[in-house]
Amino acid sequence: MSPKTLAASVVAGLSALALAACSAGTGPATGTGNTAGSTQAAAAAKTLRLSLNQTEQHPSFIALKHFGERLATATNGRLGIQVYPNETLGAQAEALQLVGDGSVDLAIVSGSQLEKLNQDFSVFNLPLVFDSVESQMKVVNNLDVVGDLYKSLESSNQITVVGGFTQGTRSVYTSKGPVNTPADLKGQKIRVQDSPLAIAMVDAMGASATPMAFGEVYTALQSGVIDGAENNEVSYVTQKHLEVAKYFSRTNHLVGLDYLIINSGLFNGLSAEDRAAFDKEWAATFAEHTQLWAAETDKAVQTAEAAGAKFNEVDTAAFRAALEPLTAQYLKTDTQKALYEAAQSAAN
């Protein structure tokens, strides 16, 4: 579907979706319904629509739902948020367009999506750029460091980046057997997010990178169109990929990053009072998300192991050596180098 057709159908279908979204998701792990979310949305005078590609069990859904509830309270019901999970409003590439044209207000999109609009975002998608979730969060929600970057899409795309949610550490998982070295990935089709850097990264790790939207990965693994994918433990479980790719090999190649984006006209048009409430509640939201992330990652590993998934360590030095050359290739401008330095110094 073209973005325009999609936008039109989204606008036409949104009120029906407000009732249906939470019980009729398209992802493989549909949740149990979200009547509390709908009630909270109905109570707010203006309900912001937020597109998410995760299930209702995912930490991002939970933290964003709480964000909406706190925002409604803080603004005396002037502003609320309805989260549409499971790609109900489209995959992330569509969500990006829809937030730009204002048919959807907010979305969570992966760093790979923003890289297509401004290369500077690729710095935070470089393998090994962050050494931990803690140092990543210090940098990506510090507007002294990222303020200009986050406003950089306003005039070109009408999109403002509000801040970041961690994706945790990403590793490779396959249906064929454990991976120990880059040589083990030779000839294997590994799904990646659709961006030049994501493709280069997995190719450098020895595999044959296959870009694809998130929601298509389960079926592609099941049918053998791909041999594996790379993601964090939480998505491995909530998307049920563990059922069709049992070997999770801890390559730990990237501490991944999601962004909350908002339509710039809407954001810059908020009253000073509502904007202050939004900023304050967002700060509480990413803090809650980071805490949930650690607990849910441990839980996901337990769930996966109980279901028969096998986790293994890899030859970390061999993967590092394969990935290191990408940094120099992707750091070209002074702005990019400064963002990289900020990420590195947060680790110390």
**Residues in touch with ligand GCU (CB under 6 A):** 53, 92, 110, 167, 193, 214, 231, 235, 258
- Of 230, 160, 168, 205, nearest to 323 by C-alpha is 205
CA distance 106 to 98: 9
Quick one: tokens of 194?
Answer: 């659709």
Residue closer to ligand GCU by CB (options 150, 214) is 214
Cβ nearer to ligand GCU, comparing 74 with 257: 257
φ and ψ of 276, to 5 deg: -65, -40
CB of 290 to ligand GCU, least distance (A): 13
Nearer to ligand GCU, 82 or 169 (CB): 169
What is the spatial distance between Cα 205 and Cα 342, in angstroms, rounded to a whole number?
A: 26
Q: Minimum Å distance from CB 230 to ligand GCU?
A: 8
Q: In the complex, which residue's CB is closest to ligand GCU?
A: 214
Q: Which is nearer to ligand GCU, 193 or 285 (CB)?
A: 193
| Nearer Cβ to ligand GCU (234/346) | 234
Q: What are phi and psi of 148, to 5 degrees?
A: -65, -40
Q: How many CB atoms lie within 10 A of CB 171?
A: 23
Closest of 145, 166, 121 to residue 342, by C-alpha: 145
In the complex with ligand GCU, the residue whose CB is nearer, 210 or 231, is: 231
Beta-strand pair 46-51/79-84: parallel
Q: Measure the CA–CA gap between 111 and 149, rounded to whole angstroms.
A: 12
Instruction: Give the total residue count for the chain.
Output: 348
CB of 217 to ligand GCU, least distance (A): 8
